[in-house]
Amino acid sequence: MIDSVRKLIRRTPDGAFALDMDYFEYHTTAERSYSSKFVDLFGRPRQQYEPIDVDTPDGRRFADCAASVQKVLEDTLVDIARALQRETGLKDLCFGGGVALNGVANARVLAESGFERIFVPPAPGDAGCALGAALYADRFYLGGRDRDVPDHPFLGPAVDPHELARAAREDGQHVEELGEQALIDRTADALAEGRIVGWMDGASEFGPRALGHRSILAAPHTREMRDRLNRDVKNREEFRPFAPVAPIEAADRYFELPPGGARLGRFMSGVFPVRHEWRDKLAGITHVDGSARLQTLERDMAPRLHALLEAYGRRTGVPVLLNTSFNVAGEPIVNRAVEGYLTFRRCGIDALVAAPFVVTKNASKRATLAEGMQ
């Protein structure tokens, strides 16, 4: 299948790439993006909600297509990055655009391109080329200089914890107001006991990754926790993986980080191997190939979550948590406290935290919720 995918894309003398447009129709019609020649090459397309059963011929073909596209994408990006590094001799690469969210490819670029560090913004998207062009013009045509910019993703509205407490009390839920250390300890205890926690802290993240301010947190140790999250919280396919967050000081103990890996992990932009001796103890966040999309957390970026990781580590011996975006399938990440509360009420999250408040479902409300989910 890889050879078939390679027919679609080729490198160009100017260091870029080009597509063979005989296989595509997105430039001529809005009805579909691929041509009949594409279907002849790869077979009939999969319907949107058709399951992938690798025990069937079609299921294996769909899986092979996905794996082959990923491999060709990685090879193409590494090839381009190598050529760019040889041309410039620079040590750092800034990488934007939607493909920059591909953590597996990013890790290969870091390992194989010759660049020592790769910077991926927390919200890379289709504006990547436009931003790069603007930066180029600023530096080379307008003589612009370096400026200090926030090295964090927390650029959205701040959560109002009193809004959460008011909504929960009006709904008859249990609300506690705690001091900082008591809140950290209570949350760490809940996580160590196997509870799932919705975590809202400060300004929301800009971008698609939950990086510690709008997160669902859980113990990372078992596949059962992963399955429970997919089934009862996220409402998505059982094979979907989850990511870990670890203090940057301890990350290398549990994950094989190459030079520059900790920086790439700052915004959860790289996929790295979980060390063999920890894979069974971190089964909830370990992919089938033994890797994980790690977030390396510095204290200054999210001090409350960093303190929670340390407290959880004191209880379990492993300062790593499962960290997934605070939303359910098909919905955006929650922003305001009331959005987090509504999500908490209609899925299997056990506790909701927005300092200084901790909200838990009372027994009668849990029973009503369980009946509604059946």
Show me where the domains of the chain are located: 1-72, 154-373
| pLDDT score at 372 | 46
In the chain (374 residues long), the average pLDDT of successive 10-residue segments reads 94 89 94 94 89 89 94 95 95 92 96 95 87 90 88 95 96 96 98 97 94 97 94 84 96 96 96 97 96 97 98 98 94 95 95 97 56 45
| pLDDT score at 227 | 93
| pLDDT score at 363 | 61
Q: Is 177 left (phi over 0), alpha (psi -120 to 50) or beta?
A: beta
Options 3.40.718.10, 3.30.870.10, 3.90.870.20, 3.30.2230.10; CATH for 154-373 is: 3.90.870.20
| pLDDT score at 13 | 85
pTM: 0.89
